[in-house]
Amino acid sequence: MTTQTLRIRRSIQELQDAYTQGNKKPLEDLMRAWKGVKELPPDDPRSFFKLGGFHGEPFRGAGWGNASYWGGYCNHGNVLFPTWHRMYLVKLEEALRGVPGCEDVTLPYWDETSEESTQKGIPWALTVKDFELDGESIPNPLRSFVFNQAIVDHIDHDKPSYSKPKGYETVRYPLSGLVGSKEDLAATRLHNKRYSDYDKNVELLNANVVNWLNSIIIVDDKPVSTHVADKYKSCLEAPNYTVFSNNSSAAQWNGERPGTEPVVPLEEPHDSIHLAVGGFDYPGATDYSPIDGANGDMGENDTAGLDPIFFFHHCNVDRVFWLWQKRQGFTDHLDIIAGYPGTNSVDGQGATPGVAPNSWLGLESPLAPFKQVEQGRERDCTSLDCINIERQLGFTYSKGSLEDPAELERMTLKAGRGTQALHVTGINRAPIRGSFLVSAFANIGGKRHHVGTRAVLSRWNVSGCANCQTHLEVQAFFGLHAFPEKLLQGATYEVEIRGRDGVLANHAKQTGPTGKRLFHLEVK
């Protein structure tokens, strides 16, 4: 297939620019396609409700009938994370192209590391309240989704805290979307009443995203990046697919290599953007959660896939995956380290429907529930079907950020710089409701420096997943290579774990209600 015949996935910013310059058709067709899939009945296989729900709720399948399973079909914390989501995007794009008049539509990416995004936040096409289409003003199809069917959280039988009724509309930071119980609904109504100005909310959302994308610390009178954009750059340097692909494998790799700069997997900056949009402020040296109670849908696995921005975010994640493949020479094959953490269905989140518990994962593992027809017979899609996006899937990406070599220059280890890293291990996520942040701080010369933050995207309640209960550990690694070695002598360190219920633990007080240590901190 030649490049002339490839479909081009462009950035949403490109479509916006064309629109403002008078070429309105590409963005209008995209809006028309999204409007179409959202209006389909919930049981239609091409409907947004059906496709968006594959990620978590409502299609948990065995997730609530059999506690050995995670439930939703999404793969996180294992080597199928990039390929499962790649195929997920393909199926949503096929549905968009199936809307009459939208046959040429492709799914755009939100170029999160572009200058436009790092300065202004989310592109306006994803946040503007209304859009003019075919001569009338309509609710912007890309800013939210109104459920056309209720979802019921079967995991917590006594308190269905993540159930949401028909007519519920997805929300983003700074709003809350917890409406499953009377207590949650009352708290949410009170919280959201304080944020009733839509335009102001978009300003707060964009400011938060910009903070996540641009954070720096000042070390030895010099700025050092600790932000998400830098993590995207770092992951492009991952040496192999196994550690590039997911947090579980990268944690093992980093733990085996003390004294080296930690590898950053693709899943790490991915998680950060989820939480930035879904309700977490970026950590700082002081109180970094002025908007307690923000619980947006993108911040939890359960309903993240039902916010349209999910697919624009993941389209960029997939683009970075393709950039890594080209940079590292893996456009036609991928390598998986056999038996490594992140290669078993119990790793990270636990098995998904269609995959047996405690089974090894590889390129031939099914990417359920996605199917394709081959020689007249339907079969499960696998990672082998989607390694080369151009040759196998018929599309490529327009040129965006992270492609100019000058952009990818990063600080290399220099004489006199720290050679160690903070290893935070043994974090027990069992008592933590939903997603959370692990933040590290260094106290140097009486000043508290934010070393970095690991965002952990999780489900609202892990109690219904037996595999989750036996694989509860979360690890985080923070390199100290930005700091001069002389400044680290005598330094002390703190770790804060912050969830939906506030600060759960810090280094000075590591025990939970049961008296058990919630994590272990080591410098090595």
Q: What is the pLDDT of residues 270-311, one digit of tens each?
A: 999 999 999 888 876 444 445 778 889 999 888 999 999 999
**Residue 385 CA neighbour count, 13 Å, CB half:** 20
Neighbours of 183 (CB within 10 A): 11
Number of H helices and E strands in the chain, helices first, is 16, 15
Residue 207's Cβ-count burial label (10 Å; 0-12, 13-18, 19+) is middle
Contact 170, 135 (CB under 8 A): no
Q: Which of 191-200, 216-225, 324-333, 471-480 shows the lowest mean pLDDT across its residues?
A: 216-225
Least confident residue range of 104-113, 123-132, 271-280, 315-324 = 271-280
CB-CB neighbours of 181 under 10 Å:
17
Q: In 10 A of CB 408, how many CB atoms?
A: 15
pLDDT of residue 417: 66
Indicate the pTM of the whole model.
Answer: 0.93
- Exposure string for 126-142, b = 16+ CB within 10 A, e = fewer: bbeeebebeeeeeebbb
**476 vs 524 pLDDT, higher one:** 476
> Does residue 369 have a cis peptide bond before it, meaning omega lies within 30 degrees of 0?
yes
Q: Return the pLDDT at 253.
A: 95
CA-to-CA distance for 84 and 345, rounded, in angstroms?
Answer: 13
Which amino acid appears at position 157 of this protein? H
DSSP, res 377? E
Among 25-34, 190-199, 212-221, 374-383, where is mean pLDDT lowest?
A: 212-221
Least confident of 124-128, 385-389, 425-429, 447-451: 425-429
Question: Per-residue pLDDT tens for 44-92?
Answer: 999 999 999 999 887 655 555 565 666 689 999 999 999 999 999 999 9
pLDDT tens per residue across span 24-51: 999 999 999 999 999 999 999 999 999 9
Angle, CA of 130, 131 and 134, to the nearest 5°: 140
* Segment of 359-368, 482-491, 501-510, 512-521 carrying the highest mean pLDDT: 359-368
DSSP string, 424-488: EEEEE-TT--S-EEEEEEEEETTEEEEEEEEEE---S--TT-HHHHHS-EEEEEEE-TTSBHHHH
* Number of other CB atoms surrounding residue 79 within 10 Å: 32
- The CA R_g of the chain, rounded to the nearest whole Å, is 22
Q: Residue 375 class from Cβ within 10 Å (0-12 exposed, 13-18 middle, 19+ buried)? A: exposed
Residue type present at position 258: P
Kindly state the tokens that stand for 20.
């403002």
